[in-house]
Structure 1
Amino acid sequence: MTAEQLQLILQSAWGALPTLLAAAPITIGYALAAMLLGLPLALLVALARLSGVAPLRAVSSVYVSFMRGTPLLVQIFMLYYGLPAFGISVSPLVGGVLALTLNAAAYLSETIRAAILSVPRGQREAALSLGLTPRQTLRLIVLPQAARVALPSLGNTLIGLVKDTSLVSVITVVELLRSAQLVIARTFEPFGPYLAAALIYWLISSLLELVQRRLEGRLARRG
């Protein structure tokens, strides 16, 4: 690579930064929306897999297996291009968030289920013997401890979601990757914009990792 080529790449990356930085909040918004919507669903799926009701266990197990066993890109296509066949049309924004949410919920449910199982059984039995109902035991005793155990994995899932949002560009959502592609279509120089996009993804992931470590440290200091 010559000095002129390197200079062209750096100029292209620098010129793409304003457009890419404007799209970064959209990428973060997609990841946060999928995380916030996926957590309640993940909790329900995890509880269904732990329940004594066989049909609930079966349905939730199939859901987790399917969502984890198929590519996210295929799921995006199924929801965005497949649902209209049933008379249901969704916008790119809704289709992207829905696909990310359903996919994330499957992974999050396994994290939550493992965290719940990590709470010693004796604590649940002690809570029940003190007069707490099963629901109170779950809400006051089990879930707070499970949340602490699950926090590192939840943080990793959020970081993964930030990167997975790049896939919604295939349904014309103008997020970070799609913005880089639009810049390339104007400048015909691909490496610089892609490099700038990669650096922004890296920066977002690093900041989220820093927040995750601080939360873990705070929880550790509290006991």
Structure 2
Amino acid sequence: MSASRLLFDEPGPRARRRIRIATVLAVVAALALVGLALRQFADNGQLAAERWRPYGTWPMWRYLLEGLRSTLAAAAVSIAISAAAGVALALGRLSPSRWLRLPCAAYVEIVRTVPALLLVYIVLFALPRYGLDLPLFWKLVVPLSVSNAAAFAEIFRAGIRSVERGQLEAGLALGLTRGRAMRLVVLPQAARRVLPSLVSQSAGLLKDTSLGYVVSFAELLYSGKVLANYNHLLIQTYLVVALVYLVINATLSKVARTLEARQRTRPSRAVADAVPAAQPTT
């Protein structure tokens, strides 16, 4: 059983038909809004070639790419910290010890209800009053890691619970401790099963790095803001920034869908390969 089935029920024929209809209507509405926006831009001269010409030069893109590099660096560090903390929290929630299970469950349930922006404000304004003034990079990374650790914990917990209980029991039967059996037997299988969900959550975390403008961290969105104030091309700058975000997140979403499709076909292939081998020879 995959981790996604533990979190969501598979839609039936009627639900899939309603989803397709809603998708078509949403696409039509989105295209209509885009067409209306383009018409308004054209009427106000925002589509004139001279207003877009600066973004055909290397200095503009070099400045934006520096912001993108900062965005990717903050996202990479946040993902690494959040994933490690998520594994620890997931194992804590599944621990037989009540003293470990309850605090981990409380952390996950509480942090999931707190907006990431509020955590950014806490790090930005509250912690310096107590003598803890972090560098700009960590003023963004720390609240994102705290917030996303809870989401990663639930993903890993679903993955661990999707692994057959016999896997853990087999490890214990071989003489492994519970911790080593979980680390060497269960976790690798769970990580493979929830890999698409991990990629999707990482894409969401990448978008959350746009909160860096609150702490004046020079990530992509903040760099776009500075650039728009400099060249007075507000609409063009933010559309270019939005296009960069769209390309990156669309790529990550495609990776997640590809991984999910491979996981769906892998069990059926394994069964198909095993059936001829199981048939007796004559």
Contact 2:227 2:237 in 1 (8 A): yes
2:239 counterpart (186, 191, 195): 195
Aligned CA distance change for structure 1 residues 20 and 62 (closer, same or farther; 3 Å): same
Q: Could you say what the CA RMSD is over the residues aligned between the two structures, in angstroms?
A: 2.2
- Aligned partner letter, 2:102: A
Task: Quote the residue 1:73 is aligned against.
Answer: 117
Q: C-alpha displacement at 1:172, in angstroms?
A: 0.5
TM-score normalised per structure 1: 0.90
Q: Decide which structure has greater helix share.
A: 1
Task: Quote the residue 1:134 is aligned against.
Answer: 178
Task: Quote the residue 1:184 is aligned against.
Answer: 228
SS at match of 2:47: helix
Q: How many residues align?
A: 223
The yes-or-no answer on 1:10 pairing with 2:52 is yes
Gaps of 5+ in 1: none
Contact 1:13 1:195 in 2 (8 A): no
Structure with the bigger RCO (C-alpha within 8 Å, sep 6+) is: 1
Gaps of 5+ in 2: 1-41, 271-282
The yes-or-no answer on 1:147 pairing with 2:188 is no
Q: C-alpha displacement at 1:22, in angstroms?
A: 2.2
- Aligned partner letter, 1:58: L
Q: Whose radius of gyration is greater, 1 or 2?
A: 2
5 Å-filtered alignment, 1:1-223, equals 1-2=42-43, 4-7=45-48, 9-11=51-53, 13-14=55-56, 16-213=60-257
Query: 2 CA distance for matches of 1:132 and 1:71?
Result: 41
Query: 1 CA distance for matches of 2:171 and 2:212?
Result: 45
Query: 1 CA distance for matches of 2:55 and 2:107?
Result: 41
Q: C-alpha displacement at 1:73, in angstroms?
A: 0.7
Q: Which moved more, 1:105-114 or 1:126-135?
A: 126-135
Cα deviation digits, residues 20-67 of structure 1 (max 9, x gap): 122111111111110111111111111111112223222212211222
Q: C-alpha displacement at 1:183, in angstroms?
A: 1.0
Aligned CA distance change for structure 1 residues 125 and 201 (closer, same or farther; 3 Å): same
Query: 1 CA distance for matches of 2:201 and 2:79?
Result: 8
Query: 1 CA distance for matches of 2:259 and 2:133?
Result: 40
- Aligned partner letter, 2:222: R
Query: 2 CA distance for matches of 1:58 and 1:139?
Result: 21
Query: 2 CA distance for matches of 1:81 and 1:165?
Result: 18
Contact 2:78 2:145 in 1 (8 A): yes
Query: 2 CA distance for matches of 1:93 and 1:108?
Result: 21
Cα deviation digits, residues 88-142 of structure 1 (max 9, x gap): 1111111111111111111000000111011111222222223222122112211
Query: 1 CA distance for matches of 2:101 and 2:183?
Result: 21
Cα deviation digits, residues 74-101 of structure 1 (max 9, x gap): 1011012111122111111111111111
Query: 2 CA distance for matches of 1:22 and 1:124?
Result: 46
Query: 2 CA distance for matches of 1:184 and 1:207?
Result: 26
Query: 1 CA distance for matches of 2:203 and 2:188?
Result: 22
Query: 2 CA distance for matches of 1:103 and 1:48?
Result: 17
Q: C-alpha displacement at 1:176, in angstroms?
A: 0.3
Contact 2:196 2:259 in 1 (8 A): no
Q: C-alpha displacement at 1:179, in angstroms?
A: 0.6
Contact 2:171 2:181 in 1 (8 A): yes
- Aligned partner letter, 1:127: G
Query: 1 CA distance for matches of 2:124 and 2:44?
Result: 45
Aligned CA distance change for structure 1 residues 199 and 170 (closer, same or farther; 3 Å): same
Contact 1:12 1:193 in 2 (8 A): no
Q: State the identity %.
A: 36
Q: Which moved more, 1:206-215 or 1:164-173?
A: 206-215
